Amino acid sequence: MKALRAKALFDKVTVEDAMRCLLGLGRDEVKVYFMLLRRPMTVEEIAELLGKSKPTAYRIAVKLTNMGLLIRRPCIIERGGYYYKYEAVEPERVKRGIQEVLNVICKRVLEALNQDFMEVMKRLQSGGAKEKERAGEGSN
């Protein structure tokens, strides 16, 4: 238990770690979010900077948009048509979202610990009573 506490206290947790763990993002998804904090980009630009295919960049952009981490903005082409640029939402919104997820997880873990410890205690107490009954039966 001591080693577990020491590791938790001394290992540095980065924002990327928190986003991957608490939001379920992959490395490339985290990278795209931070790339888009610098400037809005098209899927083609994202793919080029990531060194991935356009379909992969598109899937990442859609996932992050659906999670509320990116905003998709249409850009009109003067001669007709349009394309989309993706931009990252402000970091404060992401921080608040991560904190909300963390709060829910902590609450659920604490509830589970309280319930599980109580159930184990009850089981052990009822098991202890049964053991005494069995011991009493064997001595007759």
What confidence tens digit (pLDDT) does each residue in 50-71 have? Answer: 999 999 999 999 999 999 999 9
Q: Which uninterrupted H or E stretch holds 88?
A: strand 82-88
Instruction: Please tell me the pTM assigned to this model.
Output: 0.74
Domain 1-89 belongs to what architecture?
Orthogonal Bundle (1.10)
Q: Which uninterrupted H or E stretch holds 115?
A: helix 91-138
Planar angle of CA 85, 91, 93, nearest 5 degrees: 95
* Distance from C-alpha of 45 to C-alpha of 67, rounded to nearest angstrom: 21
Query: What pLDDT digit, counting tens, does each position of 65-119 carry?
Result: 999 999 999 999 999 999 999 999 999 999 999 999 999 999 998 888 887 777 8
Residue 80, φ and ψ in degrees, nearest 5 = 115, 145
Which amino acid is it at 109?
V
Domain positions in the chain: 1-89, 90-140
Neighbours of 126 (CB within 10 A): 10
